[in-house]
């Protein structure tokens, strides 16, 4: 898996600085305007964009045929993509956390928890779609899912917790385990899809 990860990082190396710069800029904007929405959404966009770039390079170079012939296990091949997404998700979360701390007096801590959960949900949804349909078709479905999730995120942040009648602790206690469970389920679904396509 280490070799697969290094290969993807090498492929996206030219975009990494751009992605990191976007994270910093959007989080800085969040601090400047005292609104967490900018920093919250960039993490979702960057995480998914990195994965799509890595998949696009693989499709262009015919990597799928090579890796299938190399004997690499399906669990490692799929797991590496989840690890790649996790790495960039953590980078985005770290920057967003720094911005959130600076504007803590202007937002609720759920404004941090929910976007982080949404970020993991986004790449958990994206990976099975891209593995199933390829980069181009998967990108279309991903954009639809991303728009839907961002709308849900903005809507939820405007309503929670007053409209739901739930405490922040209850919302976090439901959101975090649900996100973890869906991410794990996404991994097994992706492995199953990849295994069927390889056969």
pLDDT tens digits along 31-74: 888 877 777 777 777 888 888 888 888 878 777 777 666 667 88
Radius of gyration of the chain (CA): 18
pLDDT, tens only, 163-190 = 455 566 777 778 889 889 999 999 999 9
**Does 8 have pLDDT greater than 90?**
no
The residue that leads in pLDDT, 147 or 27, is: 27
- 114-151 confidence digits (pLDDT tens): 888 888 888 888 899 888 888 777 778 777 877 777 67
pLDDT of 195 above 80: yes
Residues 148/39, Cβ–Cβ less than 8 Å = no
Phi, psi torsion values for 36, nearest 5 degrees: -75, -10
pLDDT at 83: 92
* Res 171: pLDDT: 73
Quote the pLDDT of residue 68: 63
Q: Rounded distance, CA 105 to CA 177, Å?
A: 27
């Amino acid at each position: 898996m280490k070799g697969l990860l290094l290969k993807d990082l090498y492929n996206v190396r030219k975009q990494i600085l751009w992605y990191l710069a976007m994270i910093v800029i959007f989080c800085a904007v969040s601090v400047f305007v005292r609104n967490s929405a900018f920093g919250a959404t960039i993490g979702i966009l960057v995480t998914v964009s990195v994965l799509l770039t890595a998949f696009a390079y693989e499709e262009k170079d015919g990597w799928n045929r090579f890796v299938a012939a190399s004997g690499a296990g399906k669990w490692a091949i799929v797991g590496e993509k989840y690890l790649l997404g996790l790495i960039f998700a953590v980078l985005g979360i770290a920057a967003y956390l720094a911005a959130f701390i600076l504007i803590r007096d202007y937002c609720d801590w759920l404004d941090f928890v929910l976007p982080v959960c949404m970020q993991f949900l986004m790449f958990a949804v994206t990976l099975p779609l891209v593995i199933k349909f390829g980069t181009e078709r998967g990108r279309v479905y991903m954009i639809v899912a991303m728009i839907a999730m961002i709308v849900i995120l903005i809507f939820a942040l405007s309503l929670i917790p007053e409209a739901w009648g739930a405490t922040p602790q209850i919302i976090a206690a439901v959101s975090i385990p649900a996100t973890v469970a869906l991410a794990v389920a996404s991994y097994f679904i992706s492995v199953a899809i990849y295994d069927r396509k390889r056969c």
